[in-house]
Structure 1
Amino acid sequence: MKENKSNIKIIIEFTYGLKRYFLIAAIITILGIGFNYITPQVIRVTVDSIIGDAPLNIIDNIGGREFLRQNLYIPAIIGVVFSILSGICNYFYKVYMAKASDGTIKNLRDKLYSHISRLPFSWHMKNPTGDIIQRCTSDMEVVKSFLGIQLLEFIRIIFLILISLTLMFSMNVKLSLIAVAFILMVIIYSVIFYSLIQKRFKAADEAEGELSSLVQENFTGVRVVRAFGRQSYEIERFDEKNIGFSRLWVKLGRVLSLYWGIGDLFSGLQVMFIVVFGCFETVSGALTLGELLAFIFYNSMLVWPVRSLGRIISEMGKAGVSINRIKEILDAKEEIDSEDATTPDMKGDIEFKNVKFDYYGTKPVLKDASFKIQKGSTFGILGGTGSGKSTIVHLLNRLYNLDENSGEILINGVNINNIKLDYLRHNIGVVLQEPFLFSKTIKQNINIASNIDADENFESIKDVSTVASVHENILGFSRGYDTIVGERGVTLSGGQKQRVAIARTLIKNSPIIVFDDSLSAVDTETDAKIRHELKTHVKDSTVIIISHRITTLMHCDYIIVLDDGKIIERGNHDSLIKTNGIYKKVYDMQSSVEDEITDTLNEIKGGDK
C-alpha cells in the first residue's frame, strides 16, 4: 500500500461490495431531510393562512379556510405524517449505514489480520504485541464510529444547513445573516481546536498502547512474576503507566470541555439573537407570526447540526490518528516470494556459505560461518549463550533474511531465497526451546500442523507422542489426549510442553527437523530415550540438534562448536574429545557434575535403606 494515500482513499478501498449501502443511506437521508423540513411549513401555513387571513391557493384546493379552521386536526395529521415519514427514513438510514460501516470495518479488520499474519518475524520483534492489539481493537473502534456515525452525518449536516439557510433566507435575510454569522464562528473555532485535539488524542492513544503492552506482558509472564515475588514492583509499574495514561486523557478532556463549552455558548447566543431580533422583525411587519415560528423552528433544527458539525470535525482528528496508526501496519511490507521461487526437493544437503548476520546493525552474531550438513545425517551445534546457535535456525527457516553480500544458504543446491516461503517452512520442522501451546486439547495441539482431522489422525498422534516420550504422561491425565491445555500450556510442566512440541513437529514428517535446545527441560534418561526413538522415526530426515548438553550431541554424525559467532571446532564426538578445546572442557565439566549427582543419589538411597 502506498504511503501517500489519503485516509479517505484508504477507507474507500475497503468499501468494496458496500458502496450501494452508502448510496442508499445518502438518498434516504436526503428524503428524510425533505420530510423533516416540510413540518415547519405546515405550521407556518396553519398559523398565517388557516388561523390567520394570509392568502394561499392551496387552502382552497383542500376544502377552504373555514373548513380547515373547523377541522384543525387535518393540518395536524399532515404534520404528523411527514414526521412519521422522516422517522422511517431515519430508521432505514441507520440500518443501511450500519451495514455499510460494519461491512467496511470487517473488510479492514480481515485485511489487517491477514496482513499482520504475513509480516516478517523481524517486524513482530520490533512491535510490542499489546500495541498491535490496541491498534486492531481501540483504533478500529474509533474508525468504526467515524464511519458509522460521523462520515455520512457530515454530508447530512451539510444538506441540513444548505436547505435550512435556503428556506430561512426566503423568509428573512437579516435573521438568516445572524444565523450564518454564528455558523461561521462555530466552524472557525472547531478548526482551531481540531489540531489541538488531534495531538492530545495521539499522545493518549499511544499511551494506551504502551499500557496494553505492559498488561499483556505481565499476564503472559504471570508465573515468572509470582515466582520472583515481583507483584508489588509490577503493580507499581502499572500504576505509573496508568497515572500517565489518565493524565493524558484528563488533558484531552479539558480541551474537549472547553470546546463543548464554547459551542454551547454560541448555540445559546444564536437562539437568543434569533428570538429577540425575530420579535422586532415581526412587530415591524417584516415577518409574519407563522414565518417567525417556522424560522425559530428551522433555527433550532440548525443549531444541533452546526454543533454536530463542530463535533465531527473534532472527532475527525481522533479518527485521523487511528487511521494513521492502522495505516502504519498496512504500510509494513509483507513477506513475499521472489519471482523465480521454486519448490525443489528438500531431501538434500544443507550448506551455509560465508554467512554473516547481525540484528538491526548491532554486533555481528554470525561471522563468516561455513559448514555443510549431509542429507539424512544428524548434525549437532554446541555453543554458549549469544554464540549464534538459534540464529542459524532463524536464518534457515527465513525468519530473518540475509543481506546482500552476507553469504548464502543452500538446500539441495538451491538458495533458500529462491524457495517459496510456505513450502520451505512446511518442510522444516522446528522445535523451539520455549514452545508455544494453544488453549486447546493436547490432541489438537499435536495435530495442529496436520491437514487431517485430529480424531481421524489419532493413531499418528499417539505414535509421535510415544516417540517424544510423552504418551504415558498424557494417559496419566484424567481426560488423556482430550485434556485442555491452559493458555500457553500453563497446565503442563516445562518438560511436558517440550515433548508435546516435539510430537507436534514430528507429525509433519518433515525432511528437515531442527531441535533448538528443545530437550533442555527433560532429564538425561528421557533425553536418551527420545533420541533413541528419533533414530527410528526420522531415519530419512536431516536432523539438526542444538544443545548445551554433550550427552544430547555426542551421537550426532557431525558437530560444530560456536563461540562469538565463529565456528571454532568441528568434527564428531570422538575426534572432538581428543582435542583440548571447548567441547572437551564442556564434556569433562558435565561428566564430573553428572558423576557427583549420581554419587549423591546413591548415598541418599543407601541412607534410606
Structure 2
Amino acid sequence: MKEFKKLLQFSKGYNLMYFFAILSIIISQVFNIISPLIIRTTIDSIIGSEPITSIYIQKLVNFLGGKEFLNKRLWIIGIVIICNAALRGLFLYLKNTLASKSAETIAKRIRDKLYDNIQRLPYDYHVKADTGELIQKCTSDVDTIRRFLAIQLVEVAGSIFMLTFILGIIANLNKKMVIISIVFLPFIFGFAVVFFKKVRYNFEKADESEAKLSTTLQENLTGIRVVKAFSQERYELEKFDVRNQEYRKLSNKLVSNLAMYWSISDFFSMTQVGLVIVLGSYLTVKGELTLGTLIAFVSYINMLVWPIRQMGRTLTDMGKALVSIKRIDEILSQPIEELVINGEEPVIEGNIEFKNVYFEYEKDRPVLKDISFTANKGDTVAIIGSTGSGKSSLVHLLPRLYEYNKGSVKIDGIELNTIDKYWIRKNIGLVLQEPFLYAKTIKENIRLSNPKMPDIKVFNAAKIAKIHDDINSFEEKYDTVVGERGVSLSGGQKQRMSIARTIINESPIVIFDDSLSAVDTETDIEIRKALNLRKHKATTIIISHRISTVSEADLILVVDKGKIIQRGTHKELIEKDGLYKRVYNIQSSYDEE
C-alpha cells in the first residue's frame, strides 16, 4: 500500500529496532507455546505412563533428572513453568520497549515534518486552509499512527508466527482434532476482513467530523470577544452542539460496529473452544486422546482463536492508521514554497517599477489588470480604492506572496521573480491590516525577527510607532506579557506594536496594508512624520481609505476593479473630477460636521 510506503520514509534508522521488537515477540510466543507442552508431558508422561514423543522435551526431562525423579518432585515442574513465564515476560517487555521507542521517534519525525511543511506552504494555501483540521492532523492523526506502530504492527508478526507454529504442533498431536480445532477459524478471519472494510469508511467520516468540531471550537475561542460583544453565546452553543451531535452519532456508529464485531467473533470463538472441549472429551473417554493432549489442545485453540479474533482490532487500527496517513499526506504532498532557489540576492535600494502587470487567483478572472507605475528610492506611494478593488493583491506581489501572471515588476531594475523569495521578504517590511501578536513580552514581540536586537533599537522603533509612552505606562514596561493574540492591548496599540516590529529592521521597502486604520488621525500624522525623518528613509507604500493619511504621498494611485483609474499627487487629484475627489469631498464634509 502506498500509505505504508509513505510511513517507511519516517522509519529510516529504526528498522533494525523494529526487527528486534518483532524477534522479541516471536521468542515470547515460543515460551508461550511451550507451556501447554510442559503441562501435557507432566500429565501424560511424568504422572502417567505415555512415552515422550518430542526429542527436545525428552532432553529437558533428562536434564532435570528423569521421569521418576520428577514424578516425586513435581514442584520442579512448577519452577520450570514459572521460569518459562518469566522469560516470556522479559521478551514481552523488550518488545514493548523497542516498539514504543521506535513509534515515538517516528511520530516525532512526522510531527516535525508536518510542522516544517506547514511553515513552508505558500501564503495562498494558508489563506484557504482550515486551521482546526490542520491541528487535528498534527495531533490526533499522528497519535493514531503512533498507537498502531507501537502496538498492532508488531503484534501482527507475533500472531502470524503463533498461528503457523501452533498449527504445526497440533498437527503432530492428533490429526482428527486438528480439523475440529480449525473449523470456525476461516469464518472468524473472513468476518474480520469484511469488518475492516466497513469500519475504515466509518472511521474516515468520524475523523472528518472531529476535525470540523475542532475547527468550531478553535474559531469560538479565537473570536470569543466578538461572541461576547454581539451576545451570540446561544448561537455559538447551538452551532457547537450540531457539530458535537454529528461527531457523537458517527462515533456511536463506530462503537456499534465494534460491539457487533466483538459479540459475533466471541460467539464463533467460544463455539470453536466449546467444540474442541466437547469432542476432545468424547475422544478422551473413548481412549483415542490422552488427558494431557486434551488440555494442550484446549490451550492451543485459545491461543489460535485469540490472534484471529484480534485480527479485527488489528485491521481496525490499521484502517485508522491508513486514514490518518492519507490525511497527513494531504499536507505533505502539497508543493512547498521554495524561498531560496539560487536566484539573485541584490542590494535592495527601493526603486520599484510595475509595467503592464496582470494577476489572477482563478484562471481567466484577473484581479489586477494592466498595472503600471514607478516609485523611486525613498518615495511614498499611496493606494486608495474601494473594498475589493485589488489594493492588497497589488502590494502582496512585492514580497512574492503571490506571483504575477503577466507583465513585469522590477526592483532596482531586476525582475522580481528572479530574486529569491527569502531575500526579497527580508528586505520588505509588511505591516498587515490585522496585526498578530504572540503571548510574549512586548520586547520579544517587537524584536521577533531578530531576538538579539539591542534594546536601544527596540525603543527607537517603538518611538517611531508612537507606542513608547504607552509601553512605559505599563507596570512591567517592555517586559509586560501581552495576552494571546495581544488581547490585553487596544486595537491601536496592537497596530502600533506591529508597525514597530516591522520598522525595527530598517527595510528599504515598507508596506502599510491599511495598518494605520486603528490609530487616530493625530497619531497617524505623527507616525508618518517620524517615518519621514528616519536616517535611512525607505520607499513606503501605504494602503488607506483615509485621505489625510495619503495626502502627503509623492504618488497616489486610485484603484477600482483591478485597474488604476487615477494617479497623481493630492493637489493634482482634488482638481480633477473622479473617485478621489468624491472621497475627499465626503471626508472633508464629514470632518467639518
Q: TM (normalized to structure 2)? A: 0.96
Distance, in Å, in 1 between the alignment partners of 2:173 and 2:530 is 94
Give the residue type in structure 2 aligned to 1:343.
Answer: E
Deviations along 1:271-295, one digit per CA (max 9) or x if unpaired, are: 1011111112222333211111111
Residue in structure 1 matched with residue 55 of structure 2 by the alignment: none
Give the residue type in structure 1 aligned to 2:130.
Answer: P
Distance, in Å, in 2 between the alignment partners of 1:370 and 1:539 is 26
CA contact (8 A) 2:196 2:312 kept: no
Deviations along 1:63-97, one digit per CA (max 9) or x if unpaired, are: 23332121111111111111100001001110000
Residue in structure 1 matched with residue 583 of structure 2 by the alignment: 586
Residue in structure 2 matched with residue 443 of structure 1 by the alignment: 443
Give the residue type in structure 1 aligned to 2:455.
Answer: F
Distance, in Å, in 2 between the alignment partners of 1:145 and 1:83 is 26
Deviations along 1:148-202, one digit per CA (max 9) or x if unpaired, are: 1111111111111111111111112232223333221111111111121111111
Residue in structure 2 matched with residue 153 of structure 1 by the alignment: 155
Alignment of 1:113-124 (within 5 A): 113-124=115-126
Give the residue type in structure 1 aligned to 2:440.
Answer: K
| Superposed displacement of residue 103, structure 1 | 0.6
RMSD value, Cα: 1.6
Q: 1:415 to 1:177 in 2, by over 3 A?
A: farther
Q: 1:85 to 1:511 in 2, by over 3 A?
A: same
- Of residues 76, 90, 93 in structure 1, which corresponds to 2:92? 90
Give the residue type in structure 2 aligned to 1:497.
Answer: K
Give the residue type in structure 1 aligned to 2:281.
Answer: C
Residue in structure 2 matched with residue 24 of structure 1 by the alignment: 20
- Of residues 573, 576, 589 in structure 2, which corresponds to 1:576? 573
1:494 aligns with 2:496: no
Distance, in Å, in 2 between the alignment partners of 1:231 and 1:585 is 41
Deviations along 1:43-74, one digit per CA (max 9) or x if unpaired, are: 11111111101233544553233321211111
Distance, in Å, in 2 between the alignment partners of 1:439 and 1:362 is 42
CA contact (8 A) 1:337 1:419 kept: no
Identity %: 45
Distance, in Å, in 2 between the alignment partners of 1:338 and 1:91 is 47
CA contact (8 A) 2:133 2:215 kept: yes
Alignment of 1:179-218 (within 5 A): 179-218=181-220
CA contact (8 A) 1:135 1:322 kept: yes
Long gaps (5+) in structure 1? 597-609
Give the residue type in structure 1 aligned to 2:7.
Answer: I
Residue in structure 2 matched with residue 318 of structure 1 by the alignment: 320
Alignment of 1:196-595 (within 5 A): 196-336=198-338, 339=341, 341-361=343-363, 363-403=365-405, 406-452=406-452, 457-537=454-534, 539-595=536-592
| Superposed displacement of residue 558, structure 1 | 1.0
Distance, in Å, in 2 between the alignment partners of 1:588 and 1:386 is 22
Distance, in Å, in 1 between the alignment partners of 2:141 and 2:341 is 35
Task: For residue 86 of structure 1, give the secondary structure of its aligned residue in structure 2.
Answer: helix
CA contact (8 A) 1:379 1:556 kept: yes
With 565-574 and 495-504 compared, the bigger mean Cα shift is at 565-574
- Of residues 27, 30, 34 in structure 1, which corresponds to 2:30? 34
Task: For residue 447 of structure 2, give the secondary structure of its aligned residue in structure 1.
Answer: helix
With 492-501 and 322-331 compared, the bigger mean Cα shift is at 322-331
Distance, in Å, in 1 between the alignment partners of 2:501 and 2:480 is 16
Give the residue type in structure 2 aligned to 1:417.
Answer: N
- Of residues 67, 71, 74 in structure 1, which corresponds to 2:73? 71
Distance, in Å, in 2 between the alignment partners of 1:191 and 1:20 is 30
| Superposed displacement of residue 38, structure 1 | 1.4
CA contact (8 A) 2:385 2:558 kept: yes
Q: 1:174 to 1:421 in 2, by over 3 A?
A: farther
Give the residue type in structure 1 aligned to 2:287.
Answer: G
CA contact (8 A) 1:337 1:418 kept: no
| Superposed displacement of residue 326, structure 1 | 0.6
Deviations along 1:349-396, one digit per CA (max 9) or x if unpaired, are: 212222222333485321221111212211111111111111112221
Give the residue type in structure 2 aligned to 1:31.
Answer: I
CA contact (8 A) 1:186 1:306 kept: yes
Distance, in Å, in 1 between the alignment partners of 2:275 and 2:21 is 35
Give the number of aligned pairs.
587
| Superposed displacement of residue 323, structure 1 | 1.0
CA contact (8 A) 1:380 1:544 kept: yes
Give the residue type in structure 2 aligned to 1:152.
Answer: V
| Superposed displacement of residue 557, structure 1 | 1.0
Give the residue type in structure 2 aligned to 1:172.
Answer: N
Deviations along 1:207-261, one digit per CA (max 9) or x if unpaired, are: 1111111111111111111111111111111111211121111222222221111
With 585-594 and 118-127 compared, the bigger mean Cα shift is at 585-594
Task: For residue 440 of structure 1, give the secondary structure of its aligned residue in structure 2.
Answer: coil
| Superposed displacement of residue 451, structure 1 | 4.8
CA contact (8 A) 1:450 1:507 kept: no
Task: For residue 11 of structure 1, give the secondary structure of its aligned residue in structure 2.
Answer: helix
Distance, in Å, in 2 between the alignment partners of 1:542 and 1:112 is 37
| Superposed displacement of residue 492, structure 1 | 0.4
Distance, in Å, in 1 between the alignment partners of 2:23 and 2:274 is 34
Task: For residue 51 of structure 2, give the secondary structure of its aligned residue in structure 1.
Answer: coil
Task: For residue 564 of structure 2, give the secondary structure of its aligned residue in structure 1.
Answer: strand
| Superposed displacement of residue 6, structure 1 | 0.5
Q: TM (normalized to structure 1)? A: 0.94
| Superposed displacement of residue 302, structure 1 | 2.1
CA contact (8 A) 1:49 1:55 kept: yes
CA contact (8 A) 1:171 1:287 kept: no
